[in-house]
């Protein structure tokens, strides 16, 4: 069949639908916004929790350091063992270069070297560090009055657990917000695009011949303007098409009477051609040919005007294709043309006999006028309950650039440009094919020539 627009179709397939793009826009906007808020919230919460934890650690370390100093001044024993430390924390006391610890697993190296150096130099300080992959904060306090340095480590695992819980909650919240935003974007785009869908539906109905299709009124002022403009355009298109169809029909009807009179007069003259001089006979041949061509064109125009007006309905009935096609070929003087019916074609198919007759007659006439004569008439089966009928000719074929245009009205291919014909035969073939829900196209015939095919859907 015809493959026009394949490149543009592939480009459309690579482009996301507008509804999908709106949904992605909502989702990405929500995701970026919630991630930014989550980062800010996490940073604020982290700073607050860590500062709070450090403040608590400093206060407790200072209290313990005062207690140690008082005990040292009172020359008490077991100073470190009497201190109250947090669970998981540990302490260290340096006096006169001697280290005192309450836990044998703790050594001076358990505390950061930088902090120990600073405190030994008489400066109190704090430092976060890790020991055995666990986070701690160490507080070091210099006590020059008793020539001692006090160190205490506080675990930070609870604070880190709280931060992890906050981060998880923020990420889950960002994911849920993104999903909700995507759902909102889908709903919003669907609601906004609903009028455009109605426009597309109405335009499709008009394109398929339903000229009475219109958009319903809209409550929204902007959409009401769109609906009104579309309906006004449809009214103008319908009026113009009906006016042109009526004009063509009226002209064809008005020409029918004088053409009939001319045909009768020409036939009388033709019967008495032997009484005329040679030059008059040549002129009579030209007149006879042109009058018959004119009569044929008027009949085709009348048929097209009836199709355009919708006055011709599709009347399907069960027929035997193996009997119908040879009978049509014989009726139009093509009884010598081979008829090839595929064995897969059912015994009975549902067709409009008159339309099929017009299709085959026009194809065979077209082959005789422009294709060197028909060499085969055939029928075969296609998918989706489709019957394909066609005619092979022995002509020069049809150029690829003309294969779709020759089915337009009054269009002629380059091979038929200087031949007799109305330019409406193939247009009628296409119209009758469309009435059957099918199409008409032309291919190259193996061995040379053209192969015209017509598909008739739901024929089996």
Tens digits of per-residue pLDDT, 382-391? 988 899 999 9
DSSP letter, residue 103:
S
Contact 409, 308 (CB under 8 A): no
Report how many helices (DSSP H) and strands (DSSP E) the chain contains, helices first: 9, 12
Compute the chain's Rg from CA coordinates: 47
Q: How far is CA 79 from the centre of its chain?
A: 79
* DSSP code string of 233-296: HHHHHHHHHHHHHHHHHHHHHHHHHHHHHHHHHHHHHHHTGGGS-HHHHHHHHHHHHHHHHHHH
Domains delineated in the chain: 15-207 (3.30.450.20), 237-309 (1.10.287.130), 317-456 (3.30.565.10)
DSSP letter, residue 445:
P
pTM: predicted TM-score of the whole model, two decimal places: 0.49
CA distance 79 to 99: 12
Contact 248, 297 (CB under 8 A): no
In this prediction, residue 387 carries a pLDDT of 93
Token readout for 150 is 């006090």
In this prediction, residue 4 carries a pLDDT of 43
Mean pLDDT for the stretch of residues 48-63: 90
Percent above pLDDT 70 for the chain: 85
Quick: pLDDT tens for 189-240.
Answer: 888 777 778 888 888 887 776 777 888 887 778 778 888 888 888 888 878 8
Which residues are paired to 317 by β-bridges?
351
129's enclosing H/E stretch is: strand 125-131
In this prediction, residue 220 carries a pLDDT of 76
Residue 1: which of 407, 460, 447, 422 has the closest Cα?
407
User: Where is mean pLDDT largest: 19-28, 92-101, 169-178?
Assistant: 169-178
In this prediction, residue 356 carries a pLDDT of 92
Higher pLDDT, 216 or 247: 216
Contact 421, 371 (CB under 8 A): no
CA distance 203 to 195: 12
Which residues are paired to 114 by β-bridges?
none
Between CA 124 and CA 129, with CA 128 as vertex, the angle to 5 degrees is 120
* 3-class DSSP state of 19: helix
Token readout for 55 is 């403040």
Please list, residue by residue across 11-32, b when 16 or more beta carbons sit within 10 angstroms of its beta carbon and e when fewer do.
Answer: eeeeeeeebeebbeebbeebbe
Mean pLDDT for the stretch of residues 175-197: 85
Instruction: Report phi then psi at 133, rounded to 5.
Output: 65, 20
Quick: pLDDT tens for 431-458.
Answer: 889 888 899 999 999 988 999 999 998 7
Quick: pLDDT tens for 265-320.
Answer: 878 877 887 777 878 878 888 887 777 777 766 676 666 666 666 656 788 999 99
Contact 79, 97 (CB under 8 A): no
User: Which residues, at least 6 apart from 329, have a Cβ–Cβ distance to it below 8 Å?
Assistant: 335, 337, 339, 360, 364, 377
In this prediction, residue 340 carries a pLDDT of 94
Mean pLDDT for the stretch of residues 407-432: 72
Helices (H), 371-450: 425-435
Quick: pLDDT tens for 329-377.
Answer: 999 999 999 999 999 999 899 999 989 999 999 999 989 988 889 999 9
* DSSP code string of 245-262: HHHHHHHHHHHHHHHHHH
Q: Answer yes or no: is pLDDT of 117 > 60.
A: yes
At which residue do the structure tokens 């000229």 appear?
211
Quick: pLDDT tens for 12-54.
Answer: 456 777 778 888 888 898 889 999 999 999 999 999 999 999 9
**What is the pLDDT confidence band of residue 78, given thresholds at 50, 70 and 90?**
low
Strand order in the sheet with 90-95: 98-101, 90-95, 148-155, 134-143, 125-131
In this prediction, residue 422 carries a pLDDT of 64
Q: How many Cα neighbours within 13 Å face the side chain of 219?
A: 0
Quick: pLDDT tens for 133-148.
Answer: 889 999 999 988 888 8
Token readout for 148 is 């001692």
């Amino acid at each position: 069949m015809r493959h026009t627009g394949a490149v543009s179709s592939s480009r459309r397939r690579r482009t996301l639908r507008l509804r999908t793009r709106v949904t992605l826009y909502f989702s990405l906007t929500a995701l970026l916004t919630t991630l930014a808020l989550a980062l800010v919230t996490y940073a604020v919460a982290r700073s607050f929790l860590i500062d709070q934890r450090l403040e608590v650690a400093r206060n407790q370390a200072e209290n313990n350091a005062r207690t140690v100093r008082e005990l040292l001044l009172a020359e008490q024993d077991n100073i470190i063992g009497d201190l109250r430390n947090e669970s998981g924390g540990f302490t260290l006391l340096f006096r006169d270069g001697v280290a005192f610890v309450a836990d044998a697993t703790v050594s001076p190296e358990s505390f950061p070297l930088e902090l120990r150096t600073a405190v030994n130099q008489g400066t109190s300080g704090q430092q976060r560090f890790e020991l055995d992959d666990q986070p701690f904060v160490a507080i070091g306090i210099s006590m020059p009055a008793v020539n001692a340095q006090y160190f205490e480590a506080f675990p930070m695992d609870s604070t880190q657990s709280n931060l992890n819980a906050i981060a998880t909650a923020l990420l889950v919240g960002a994911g849920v917000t993104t999903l909700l935003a995507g759902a909102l974007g889908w709903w919003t785009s669907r609601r906004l695009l609903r009028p455009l869908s109605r426009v597309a539906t109405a335009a499709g109905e008009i394109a398929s011949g339903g000229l009475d299709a219109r958009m319903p009124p809209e409550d929204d002022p902007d959409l009401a303007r769109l609906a009104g403009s579309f309906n006004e355009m449809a009214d103008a298109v319908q009026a113009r098409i009906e006016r042109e169809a009526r004009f063509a029909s009226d002209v064809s009807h008005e020409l029918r009477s004088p053409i009939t009179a001319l045909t009768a007069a020409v036939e009388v003259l033709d019967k008495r051609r032997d009484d005329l001089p040679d030059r008059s006979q040549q002129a009579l041949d030209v007149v006879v040919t042109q009058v018959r061509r004119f009569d044929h064109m008027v009949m085709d125009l009348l048929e097209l005007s009836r199709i355009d007006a919708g006055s011709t309905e599709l009347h399907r009935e069960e027929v035997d294709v193996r009997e119908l096609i040879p009978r049509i070929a014989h009726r139009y003087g093509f009884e010598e043309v081979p008829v090839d019916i595929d064995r897969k074609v059912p015994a009975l198919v549902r067709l409009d006999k008159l339309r099929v007759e017009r299709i085959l007659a026009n194809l065979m006439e077209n082959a005789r006028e422009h294709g060197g004569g028909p060499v085969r008439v055939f029928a075969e089966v296609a998918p989706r309950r489709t019957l394909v009928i066609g005619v092979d000719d022995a002509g020069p074929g049809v150029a690829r650039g003309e294969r779709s245009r020759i089915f337009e009205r009054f269009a002629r291919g380059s091979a038929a440009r200087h031949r007799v014909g109305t330019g409406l035969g193939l247009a009628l073939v296409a119209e009758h094919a469309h009435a059957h829900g099918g199409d008409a196209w032309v291919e190259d015939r193996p061995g040379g020539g053209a192969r015209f095919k017509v598909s008739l859907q739901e024929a089996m």
